[in-house]
Amino acid sequence: MAVLEILKIPDERLKQVSEPVEQFDDELRAFIDELEQTRRDGPAAVGIAAPQVGRLLRVVIVDVSNTRKPVPNHGYMILVNPEITHWDGFEMGREGCLSVPDYTGNVIRATHIRIRAQDPWGKPLEYEMEGYEARAVQHELDHLDGLLFIDRVVSRRTDLFQRKVYQKGGKSRK
Amino acid sequence: MSDWKMLTLVGADRPGIVGRVTNALYRAGWNLGETSMIRLGGNFTIMMMVTGEGAVEPVLQPVADALGLHMHVDDIAGSLHQHVVPNIQVRVVGADRAGIVAQVTAVLAEHGFNILELESDVAGSSERPVYIMHIQGYADLPLETLEAALDNLGDIDVHVSPIETLIG
């Protein structure tokens, strides 16, 4: 097993659309092991996508079970040929990327998603997820379509103002 | 010694300011680093890190004069790739009155909170202005401590939240 080289922008391969996995064989599973080893090798990444190491296959790994403050999660997930089948809500959050060193930015993502995928043996999977984990999956799935978070960064001026009930301010005398 | 200069340009907003300023710099062999450019109250404000040979003033003075911009140049210490990733966000909203920024930032400073970015705006109308401020920064303390400290500011609404930067 080896730690693979992470492609960095402006590598053209990061803009390619990845191919669906058709062969669920030992070679695929060995590659996934190396992909996971690569994810764990660098800065604390919660996910990695196959094209980030130059392999244009629809495979991602996501694991948000290790955040500073615990968030709802499904643990370590290998998603082969993943697809989002439903999404709901949106929220802004800060993202960075192993392929984009020394830059972070705000990105709007769906807050709830349902996904369909396959495991490394081709068995169908379904997940429903929210918040940070949903964000991580959307970030990784973008890689499979040749998109990076920097393609989606929004200005902080575009901030979505958090709706909340005014308890202290804005008392109107009506 | 850093070879970066901080260039500040401010003047009445109009189309073409950024294009003309940066083209003059480019043609004279200057490079840009991190920049912040934004329209504030009908003015366009530019702060940018520039690096190049010699003095930058002669390069830009004709453009600044033509566009009615005030120019200011400082030699600065510093360089690229010095980013600090914020871990706490503070949002403030309240009916506009004097002292909102002063009160909030005094509390932040007391707690060793380093403001990395602050932007504020006045929304609403002339009759009923509303002050809105977003701060992103870094502090090595529990969120709750900051929350409690910001909880006594009366008529303004302060919301503190963590920023968990996702790396993927």
Residues 6+ apart with CB under 8 A from B53: B29
Q: Please write the tens of the pLDDT for every residue from B85-108.
A: 999 999 999 999 999 999 999 999
Look at residue A147 and tell me if it is in a domain. yes
Set of chain A residues whose Cβ sits within 8 Å of the Cβ of B168? 45-49, 62, 95-98, 136, 139-140, 149
Predicted pLDDT at B1: 47
Of B81, B159, B163, the CB nearest to A94: B163
The dihedrals phi and psi of B111, each to the nearest 5 degrees, come to -95, 10
Look at residue A122 and tell me if it is in a domain. yes
Calculate Rg over the CA atoms of chain A.
Answer: 18
Tell me how far apart the alpha carbons of residues A35 and A81 are, in angstroms, rounded to a whole number.
16
Whether residues B62 and B108 share a domain: the answer is no
End-to-end CA distance of chain B: 35
Tell me how far apart the alpha carbons of residues B24 and B37 are, in angstroms, rounded to a whole number.
17
Task: Give this prediction's pTM.
Answer: 0.86
Tell me how far apart the alpha carbons of residues A44 and B20 are, in angstroms, rounded to a whole number.
42
Predicted pLDDT at A169: 42
Look at residue A129 and tell me if it is in a domain. yes
Under DSSP, is residue A28 helix (H, G, I), strand (E, B) or coil?
helix
Look at residue A168 and tell me if it is in a domain. no
Cβ-contact B85, B14 below 8 angstroms: no
Whether residues B93 and B157 share a domain: the answer is yes
- The CATH number covering residue A132 comes to 3.90.45.10
Cβ atoms within 10 A of the Cβ of B9, count? 22
Whether residues B62 and B106 share a domain: the answer is no
Cβ-contact A114, A128 below 8 angstroms: yes
Look at residue B80 and tell me if it is in a domain. no
Tokens of A56: 């244009």
Whether residues B70 and B106 share a domain: the answer is no
Asked whether the predicted pLDDT for residue B56 surpasses 70, the reply is yes
Q: Please write the tens of the pLDDT for every residue from A72-91.
A: 999 999 999 999 999 999 99
Domain range for A130 is 12-158
Instruction: Give the Å distances, CA to CA, from A103 to A94, A98, B161.
Output: 10, 10, 21
Predicted pLDDT at A165: 41
Catalytic residue among A5, A27, A91, A140: A140
Residues 6+ apart with CB under 8 A from B12: B42, B43, B44, B68
Look at residue A23 and tell me if it is in a domain. yes
Tell me how far apart the alpha carbons of residues B108 and B90 are, in angstroms, rounded to a whole number.
10
Look at residue B82 and tell me if it is in a domain. no
Tokens of A170: 């804005």
How many separate domains does chain A show?
1
Predicted pLDDT at A159: 54
Tell me how far apart the alpha carbons of residues A167 and B30 are, in angstroms, rounded to a whole number.
52
Whether residues B24 and B60 share a domain: the answer is yes
Domain range for B45 is 5-75
Average pLDDT over residues B72-84: 93
Tell me how far apart the alpha carbons of residues A161 and A92 are, in angstroms, rounded to a whole number.
10
What are the beta bridge partners of residue A118?
A80, A124
Set of chain A residues whose Cβ sits within 8 Å of the Cβ of B157? 164, 166-170
Structural domain ending residue among the three candidates B27, B48, B75: B75
Q: Please write the tens of the pLDDT for every residue from B122-168.
A: 999 999 999 999 999 999 999 999 999 999 888 889 999 999 999 99
Whether residues B154 and B99 share a domain: the answer is yes
- The CATH number covering residue B113 comes to 3.30.70.260
Average pLDDT over residues B8-26: 98
Look at residue A2 and tell me if it is in a domain. no
Q: Phi-psi category of B166—alpha, beta or left, where left has phi over 0 and alpha has psi -120 to 50?
A: beta
Interface contact B85-A104, CB threshold 8 A: yes
Structural domain ending residue among the three candidates B75, B102, B119: B75
How many separate domains does chain B show?
2
Q: Which helix (H) or strand (E) holds B66?
A: helix B57-67
Whether residues B11 and B42 share a domain: the answer is yes
Look at residue B129 and tell me if it is in a domain. yes
Interface contact B154-A168, CB threshold 8 A: yes
ipTM of the complex: 0.84
List chain A residues with pLDDT less than 70: 156-174
Tokens of B117: 């970015």
Whether residues B69 and B117 share a domain: the answer is no
Set of chain A residues whose Cβ sits within 8 Å of the Cβ of B159? 162, 164
Whether residues B67 and B96 share a domain: the answer is no
Tell me how far apart the alpha carbons of residues B43 and B13 are, in angstroms, rounded to a whole number.
5
